[in-house]
Amino acid sequence: MSGNLTYRESGVDTIEAQSFVYSISSHVKRTQKNRQLYNAFGLFAAAYDLSSYKEPVIVTGTDGVGTKTELLFEQDMPETAGKDLVAMNVNDILTTGGDPLLFLDYLGISNLKTETPRITRLVSGMCDYLESCNCILAGGETAEMPGVVPENLVELAGFCIGCVEKSAMIDPSRVTVGDVLVGFSSDGFHANGWSLIRRILAQQPGLLTREELCSALAPTRLYHDIVRDLRARGIVPKAYAHITGGGLPENLERFLGEKGADLTIPYWQNDVAQKVLQFVDTEDRFHTFNMGIGWVTIVSPDQVDAILTAGSGGCVIGQIREGRGVHVSVAR
Amino acid sequence: MSGNLTYRESGVDTIEAQSFVYSISSHVKRTQKNRQLYNAFGLFAAAYDLSSYKEPVIVTGTDGVGTKTELLFEQDMPETAGKDLVAMNVNDILTTGGDPLLFLDYLGISNLKTETPRITRLVSGMCDYLESCNCILAGGETAEMPGVVPENLVELAGFCIGCVEKSAMIDPSRVTVGDVLVGFSSDGFHANGWSLIRRILAQQPGLLTREELCSALAPTRLYHDIVRDLRARGIVPKAYAHITGGGLPENLERFLGEKGADLTIPYWQNDVAQKVLQFVDTEDRFHTFNMGIGWVTIVSPDQVDAILTAGSGGCVIGQIREGRGVHVSVAR
């Protein structure tokens, strides 16, 4: 007996895969203008030469875009999904004071042929953000999984590797009482809390117009401009925090130990966000959303003036005090 | 108006997340016996010190387990999914001659509370393999996405970072005519071609017993023993190839350029695999499955004797010749 089923007949098309690789190649190239991969022909992994570093410490993390992905695809905004994926990962790397060097993506889809236009747009969005922060799209896996990944959905995971000289590494254990917290604005909800937002939108179907929803879906801000500006001025802050799920309290408490802070943040001037927030428990909102502050830099008091003009500008939101716990109130 | 929806009510439970982190902590520790993360308290990324390397080149890649995942979960084999995830990524890193140092996983699930027992077993399988090849589980993201990830499914992506001294890096461009290909056995289908296998099993429901199916689902072999043995003997091969989707032809042609090989591999002594293969196109099977050879080492003829006893032992399957293309036939 001789069989006759081919891999293509079972729903996986390796030719189509080559076509997808071609369709994204110009975008990938954009991410290698200033940094290049180490020439490593024929290996099954991407390589990057770190021999110019004196005492390199590599830093790495992984993140996804969560349930926001579904809404982004419903609204035909795959470029934003790509930007969110990059920003969620790169911002975490930036908290170390390091350079984001290499980014890899994992896309799980049901059908490569039907998805190629959309995931090409997704990769172009990724490369817009990667190009802006000088990080190479070093690899990726596009897994075609018919019958496993629901049709019309793209599973998304990102991975980033950065490097920092040991002597220049941010050390949050240096934070002391009296240090100042400077908050930098977010561009919206970013990529956290969307299970809750989706539930509210399901319960209040007319709450947001399509235009308002798209504005609420703005991509996570990339905070490399702040880190770059501070480095250029020779300022090494005590800590950086990327405000994601858990909000300001959890993302600061994770390294404050027995210290804490009572923060006063500006009212979030974002009409669409406020429309949604009215349906969220008044305490829980601070533990779920960034509430308008997506990045926090902690510095000693003498560095505050310099830091306020880094990136697109921050504002003082509080000071470190003795005693556990970060509490947030809104300025009136 | 004041709302009252909390994040937990929308299906995302951050307390449960902490409980999961606790349940895997003993497994994670097992991966840090011989290597440790660089102490970097409070950062949003994992750090590893490379300053003991003279000219470090980092190598990285990402991969998943594909549609095999679904069958593994149907058969209650989450540990195997974890091993597959590690092996698919670590083997790619090993092709560079480098050490796998850091591994990160991304798990997308619908409900953390119901999935915690299963993904804890999955992580324990990952850590079994990571421990055996001295690679740290440096981080991971478990994304709870109710309504997005289908219930009873776990989306899986893995990511590995390795490092190699520039002078010790494998360089497949050194492969020349006359070099010898030594194949090392696979432990089954590994993690490729399962869309096709699932289709065959759907068409032939009685083809495999449950026991046979579980044996076909054996985890991808980790080939670090071969690389370690060769390094210990000071042998630097010309190339390593990890045989995944595309089979022997595609995974060798990718670096052979104008050269090629006519390979003769042993008959695959795997009754369960042969039962499945009888339903697969006779040509396509070599381009979809590893056909019993999951790893190839290419060496100059004088190194063949030494290489045949590396790891659990290989066999000569051919020699490099002029002319494009890798063709495979089975020894009679």
User: For the CA atoms of chain A, what is the radius of gyration?
Assistant: 21
A156 φ, ψ (degrees, to nearest 5): -130, 125
A3 is a domain residue:
no
Q: Do B195 and A93 touch (CB under 8 A)?
A: no
Task: Single out the residue in A168, A190, A216 at which a domain terminates.
Answer: A168
Would you list the DSSP string of A236-289? --SEEEE--TTHHHHHHHHHHTTEEEEEEE-----HHHHHHHTTB-TTHHHHHS
The H or E element spanning position B211 is: helix B210-216
A113 and A182, same domain (yes or no): no
Answer yes or no: are the C-beta atoms of B68 and B194 closer than 8 Å.
yes
B159 and B204, same domain (yes or no): no
Helix, strand, coil % (nearest 5) of chain A? 35, 25, 40
B136 is a domain residue:
yes
A298 and A319, same domain (yes or no): yes
Q: Tens of pLDDT along B95-117?
A: 999 999 999 999 999 899 999 99
A201 and A73, same domain (yes or no): no
B116 and B235, same domain (yes or no): no
pLDDT at B194: 93
B15 is a domain residue:
yes
With bands split at pLDDT 50, 70 and 90, how would you rate the model's confidence at A306?
confident
Segment B197-222 shows an average pLDDT of 96
This complex has an ipTM of 0.93
Separation of alpha carbons A253 and A256, rounded Å = 5
Contacts of A39 (CB under 8 A, 6+ apart): A47
Of A59, A69, A245, the CB nearest to B47: A59
B35 is a domain residue:
yes
Q: Do A3 and B279 touch (CB under 8 A)?
A: yes
Q: Do A50 and B50 touch (CB under 8 A)?
A: yes
A202 and A263, same domain (yes or no): yes
> Comparing C-alpha atoms, which of A110, A141, A193 is closest to residue B150?
A110
> Comparing C-alpha atoms, which of A63, A150, A103, A134 is closest to residue B62?
A103
Segment A73-78 shows an average pLDDT of 96
Separation of alpha carbons A127 and A105, rounded Å = 11
A157 and A194, same domain (yes or no): no
pLDDT at A268: 96
B190 and B248, same domain (yes or no): yes
- At B323, is the secondary structure helix, strand, or coil? coil
**Structure pTM?**
0.93
Q: Do A49 and B41 touch (CB under 8 A)?
A: no
User: For the CA atoms of chain B, what is the radius of gyration?
Assistant: 21
Separation of alpha carbons A156 and A152, rounded Å = 13
With bands split at pLDDT 50, 70 and 90, how would you rate the model's confidence at A6?
low
A158 and A24, same domain (yes or no): yes
- At A30, is the secondary structure helix, strand, or coil? helix
Q: How far is A257 from chain B (nearest CA, A)?
A: 10
Q: How far is A105 from chain B (nearest CA, A)?
A: 7
Q: Which domain holds residue B291?
A: 172-330
Q: B31: domain CATH number?
A: 3.30.1330.10
Of A45, A53, A61, the CB nearest to B45: A61
B266 is a domain residue:
yes
Q: How far is B306 from chain A (nearest CA, A)?
A: 23
To test the contact with chain B by mutation, choose from A74, A112, A148 the residue with the greatest count of B C-beta atoms within 10 A, namely: A148
Q: Residue A302 CB: number of other CB atoms within 10 A?
A: 8
Q: Tens of pLDDT along A172-200?
A: 999 999 999 999 999 999 999 998 999 99
Answer yes or no: are the C-beta atoms of A299 and A233 closer than 8 Å.
no
Q: Do B49 and A166 touch (CB under 8 A)?
A: yes
Contacts of A287 (CB under 8 A, 6+ apart): A246, A247, A249, A250, B7, B14
Nearest 5°: the CA angle A206, A207, A209 is: 75
pLDDT at B121: 97
pLDDT at A10: 63
Taking CA–CA distances from A88, the nearest residue in chain B reads: B44
B287 and B176, same domain (yes or no): yes
All residues of chain A having their beta carbon less than 8 Å from the beta carbon of residue B57 are 38, 40, 47-51
* Number of domains composing chain A: 2
Interface contacts (A, B; CB < 8 Å): 324
Q: How far is B69 from chain A (nearest CA, A)?
A: 9
Q: How far is B70 from chain A (nearest CA, A)?
A: 7
> Comparing C-alpha atoms, which of B330, B328, B331 is closest to residue B247?
B328
A90 and A183, same domain (yes or no): no
Separation of alpha carbons A127 and B18, rounded Å = 33
B233 is a domain residue:
yes
Separation of alpha carbons A318 and A295, rounded Å = 14
pLDDT at B1: 37
Q: Residue A289 CB: number of other CB atoms within 10 A?
A: 29
Task: Single out the residue in A135, A168, A201 at which a domain terminates.
Answer: A168
Segment B289-308 shows an average pLDDT of 95
Sign of the Cα pseudo-torsion (B166, B171, B173, B177, in order): positive
Q: Do A198 and B67 touch (CB under 8 A)?
A: no
B3 is a domain residue:
no
Q: Residue B49 CB: number of other CB atoms within 10 A?
A: 18
pLDDT at A4: 64
Task: Single out the residue in A124, A139, A168 at which a domain terminates.
Answer: A168
Of A57, A170, A254, the CB nearest to B38: A57
Answer yes or no: are the C-beta atoms of A115 and A13 closer than 8 Å.
no
Q: A297: domain CATH number?
A: 3.90.650.10
Answer yes or no: are the C-beta atoms of B197 and B67 closer than 8 Å.
no
Within B263-319, where are the H helices? 271-277, 284-288, 304-307
A26 is a domain residue:
yes
A155 and A238, same domain (yes or no): no
Q: Examine the pLDDT at B320 and tell me if it is beyond 60.
A: yes
Separation of alpha carbons B84 and B88, rounded Å = 6
